[in-house]
Structure 1
Amino acid sequence: MDNENNVNKYSKEEQLNESRVNHDDQKLTTNQGVGVSHTDDSLKAGNRGPTLMEDFHFREKMTHFDHERIPERVVHARGFGAHGHFQPYESMAELTKAKFLQDPSIKTPVFVRFSTVVGSKGSADTVRDVRGFATKFYTEDGNYDLVANNIPVFFIQDAIKFPDIVHSIKPEPHNDMPQASAAHDTFWDFVVNTPEITHMIMWLLSDRAIPRSYRMMEGFGVNTFRFVNGEGKGRFVKFHWKPLLGVHSLVWDEAQKLAGKDPDYHRRDLWDAISKGDYPEYELGIQIIEEEDEFNFDFDVLDPTKIWPEEIVPVKPIGKMTLDRNVDNFFAETEQVAFHPANVVPGIDFTNDPLLQGRLFSYLDTQLIRLGGPNFHEIPINRPLAPIHNNQREGYHRMTIDQGVTSYSPNSLRGNAPHPTPDTEHGYAHYTEKVDGKKVRERSESFNDHYSQASLFWNSMSNAEKEHIIEAFHFEVGAVMDKQIKERVVEMFNHVDGELATEIAKGIGVAPPQNPGGTGVTASSPAVSQENTNQVAATRKVAILLEDGFNHHQVTQVMEALKSAGVHSEIISKNLGMLTGVDGQQLEVNKNYVNTGSIMYDAVYIPGGRQSVDNLLQQGDALHFVNEAFKHGKTIGATNEGVDLLVISQVEGIELAALDSQAELVSKMGIVTIRNAGDMGTIEQEGYFSQQFVSAIAQHRHWKRKNKKEMVPA
């Protein structure tokens, strides 16, 4: 009976009620029992100054958090990596003395690890989450780590709250659910009690959190760093990775289905692209703010919850990274790679960004336990190409066999070797900055605007992107059991935009705000919307639905046109094996409906051939394939008898090619059709099917069919 009562006591409802009980007797303390008066800000030298190492509460809180998970990473546990190289476009000597940014003829080797943040190693690739985008540059001056995310802002302003945000978003401790998801009470309880998170939530619930591919995903350094040139002049800098394929995303229904059909979707996509020679390319860009302009903006340049809008501070492209080699061993390379924001080279320095200051401590501390001690830099994937000489010895997993009797400095037995590296020989010298302030546990008042940039983000979205954000709120907050938290979410985002708050309320079962609010911000930032990204068809995947009796000439002509545009095609049929066309020629099936789905492709093509199409018309899987692609806004092409499949499907409201004998090419809202066509044309021939089909594929999705797809059963 006691056990039964104990189980009942910890039902979800009772836990929520118990959490509201007054616990005035429970005072926050350190692990030594010392009372803690404030846990929201680290101890700084002035409210915009650097974090102080004497902040024992910060160090204890962060150290305990860093060591909470073994052996996988506490965050960014699920990742995938690749090798490549980076080349600058021109010398950056005017801005920085970093050597790898000086000579356009020099290729610097890199290793990149992409990752999700919240889920465990066994979670799916396509969950709604922030993605990590960490790059290790093996420069001649030593290793430089650019530890980035695919979202330019962060949840919190001060690193001391990092354990809190991660604890809240991780699976709830009583039942370890849900996995890799923010759709639960503890996370949204943290959200409504942390106004600084508002801007980040807008990004997290946007399409940015479900990328189509790592190859089509931006990266942002998030924190404010500093470039220092050879004359010692410093400038504030933010880093950007911009994919040459553009920035594109999945739709939520697609992401959920992919999590079941292929949980390795993103890593497989990256591996396959590199294996095929479709090497992902990213431009490295920088935003620069002169130190004398530090206070000339309506945001604090050190606030990690704010962007520097690109129309105000343009991004300057300075080089290109190409990923051209897959790993040889996942564990030895991807799992054991260790990134750390403090791994910088001369010419790149830090600022008093309070999130960055904490990261400089946390990453190294985490690696010490995850990789078994202080010698993880000797693991091959972490080993710099530059020579290493110092007096650090022994410890777990020491690989270097040090010679000589000295391991200290100064010494005379070895002439004081290893000698300090002078600044003139690229020894690292920290930027000279005056630090003057009282020791306080406070935050600068310039960090207090939590809603203006969230409004800017909302204003920047296209109608389709806004609809996706609202749907994401309905899913995420709809999973919250506590009605008070739901009501507070609506209240919180009413500060951002009254219409947004009203739409959120509609889907989560609470009343809309009585007085619709907002910040009054009317500005927008075009670079924030994915609608304004590059649109290219290269590296996309097209599914070709076939059965015996297909028109071989049409299929091969379209496949050749797709190939010339850098688009890959696969033949999908009911069964694997060989299919025979009306002329007796054969093609091999790549996938069947059991081991693939429309969610794994960017477009669908149904060629002619009476027997083939009649067979497809009898297959529910084929009809579902087309319906689902249509519902997800993808390009669909059909030629000759293939158009009949679209007529029978639920692709309604689209002006299909005429059903009579007239050969008329129609391309509307991503549906490309033609009847009685003999020549499919090439991608250079305007007005032919192949050119129109490839052009539609390049647009990624066709959101204008939004209202017409709601009735499609898929």
Structure 2
Amino acid sequence: MPHRSAAQPQGAAAAGELGKCYEQAIKERALSVLANIDAELCAQVSAGLDLPAPAVKARLTDPAPSPALSQLGQTWPLDGRIIGIVADETADLEGVRVIRQAVLDAKIVPLLIAPVDGQLDPDGTPITVQRSFATARSVEFDAIVLGGTAGPGSDATGARDGKAGDSAATTQQVVADPRAVLLVNEAFRHGKAIGAWSGGDRAITAAGVPADAPGVLIGSTGDAVLDGVTELLGAHRVWKRFTPQTRTRPSMPVTRPQGHRPGLTHQSSRRDNHRADNPKSDVAASGAAPFYGGSP
């Protein structure tokens, strides 16, 4: 069932597909089906096709939720999960080494994320960088931990990487690299566990993420933070971070007023466009929350 706020972009997409159909009867039949499912969405599609919205012919009932189809209250093995470890040369590199090995021992995959490719601490005990701020995206990770402040990389300019923004801010003006901030912002909105120590909470604050939000763990050592993150990983997502959304079907069919043709405007969607998000947005105030049962 589509979310009410998603009716316009979904209506535009459905109208675009039906608009390619030459058979009028097929368009009308599709609208009659939509009317029984979602009157608001049907009205949006009808407007895009310049056809009247049909009346509801069969009132559908909401089935009882099936526990077998829900991820709530269940846990799964951690084998193969991926944890992104954010660090730079100023981070607690010894702590990074410790948790990286602990992640491997738990049969989880650790991927080190740093400002640039190469190695951290090349003159000591080198740690190979698997992802740079330019190549890392939140969709790849099941959880994020930060072992340092994630300060701006040398290439953190819009001319080099669009995710870094178009600001000419200097290192002194920016608390954390905008790309690391975006990484945390997206992970939070997608319900993923986030942990930090050794100043990593600065990037969390810069991302607009409340330090006391469910699934956000800030500790004094990396291994303590990792213990909490791996415990949350079993549930796949931090479901306490979200409020279940429900909708009530209108008791009367929604029709398009005569002479009125509402515009179909695009609204940005949540799912891994991963491009247009503003890393400075206040996540806590946005109220954005995915539905149970569908997550990136």
Paired with 2:53 and 2:214, the residues of 1 have a C-alpha distance of 34
Report the Cα offset of residue 672 of structure 1. Answer: 2.1
Q: Deviations over 1:554-600 (max 9, x none)?
A: 2123223322322111111232111129x954311112244442222
8 Å contact kept, 1:548–1:579 = yes
8 Å contact kept, 1:547–1:615 = no
Q: Deviations over 1:214-242 (max 9, x none)?
A: xxxxxxxxxxxxxxxxxxxxxxxxxxxxx
Question: Is 1:527–2:68 an aligned residue pair?
Answer: yes
Which one of 88, 91, 106 corresponds to residue 565 of structure 1? 106
Aligned identity (percent) is 22
CA 1:506–1:643 in structure 2 vs 1: closer, same or farther (change >3 Å)? farther
Q: Describe the SS at the equivalent of 1:701.
A: coil
Equivalent positions of 1:323-334 (< 5 A) are none
Paired with 1:558 and 1:506, the residues of 2 have a C-alpha distance of 53
Equivalent positions of 1:293-312 (< 5 A) are none
Which one of 85, 94, 112 corresponds to residue 544 of structure 1? 85
CA 1:513–1:570 in structure 2 vs 1: closer, same or farther (change >3 Å)? same
Report the Cα offset of residue 551 of structure 1. Answer: 0.2
Which one of 689, 694, 697 corresponds to residue 225 of structure 2? 689
8 Å contact kept, 1:637–1:693 = yes
Paired with 1:575 and 1:629, the residues of 2 have a C-alpha distance of 21
Q: Deviations over 1:353-377 (max 9, x none)?
A: xxxxxxxxxxxxxxxxxxxxxxxxx
**1:671 alignment counterpart:** 216
Q: Flag the structure with higher strand content.
A: 1
Q: TM-score, normalised by structure 1?
A: 0.27
8 Å contact kept, 1:547–1:573 = yes
Q: Describe the SS at the equivalent of 1:527.
A: helix
Question: Is 1:576–2:117 an aligned residue pair?
Answer: yes
8 Å contact kept, 1:542–1:568 = yes
CA radius of gyration, larger in = 1
CA 1:478–1:628 in structure 2 vs 1: closer, same or farther (change >3 Å)? farther
Q: Structure 2: which 5+ residue stretches go unaligned? A: 154-174, 244-268, 271-275, 280-296
8 Å contact kept, 1:494–1:518 = no
Paired with 1:475 and 1:699, the residues of 2 have a C-alpha distance of 35
CA 1:523–1:614 in structure 2 vs 1: closer, same or farther (change >3 Å)? closer
Which one of 497, 504, 509 corresponds to residue 41 of structure 2? 504
CA 1:543–1:508 in structure 2 vs 1: closer, same or farther (change >3 Å)? farther
Which one of 164, 187, 197 corresponds to residue 629 of structure 1? 187
Q: Describe the SS at the equivalent of 1:560.
A: helix
8 Å contact kept, 1:549–1:580 = no
CA 1:479–1:540 in structure 2 vs 1: closer, same or farther (change >3 Å)? farther
Q: Deviations over 1:401-459 (max 9, x none)?
A: xxxxxxxxxxxxxxxxxxxxxxxxxxxxxxxxxxxxxxxxxxxxxxxxxxxxxxxxx7x
Aligned-CA RMSD value: 3.9
8 Å contact kept, 1:474–1:508 = yes
Query: Relative contact order, CA 8 A, sep 6+: which one is greater?
Result: 2
Equivalent positions of 1:154-165 (< 5 A) are none
Paired with 1:526 and 1:502, the residues of 2 have a C-alpha distance of 28
8 Å contact kept, 2:100–2:110 = yes
CA 1:476–1:621 in structure 2 vs 1: closer, same or farther (change >3 Å)? same
Paired with 1:493 and 1:585, the residues of 2 have a C-alpha distance of 61
Q: Structure 1: which 5+ residue stretches go unaligned? A: 1-457, 459-465, 658-667, 682-687
Equivalent positions of 1:586-601 (< 5 A) are 586-601=126-141
**1:700 alignment counterpart:** 236
CA 1:488–1:620 in structure 2 vs 1: closer, same or farther (change >3 Å)? farther
Paired with 1:479 and 1:669, the residues of 2 have a C-alpha distance of 40
8 Å contact kept, 2:82–2:141 = yes
Question: Is 1:619–2:159 an aligned residue pair?
Answer: no
8 Å contact kept, 2:75–2:236 = no
Question: Is 1:713–2:283 an aligned residue pair?
Answer: no
CA 1:572–1:700 in structure 2 vs 1: closer, same or farther (change >3 Å)? same
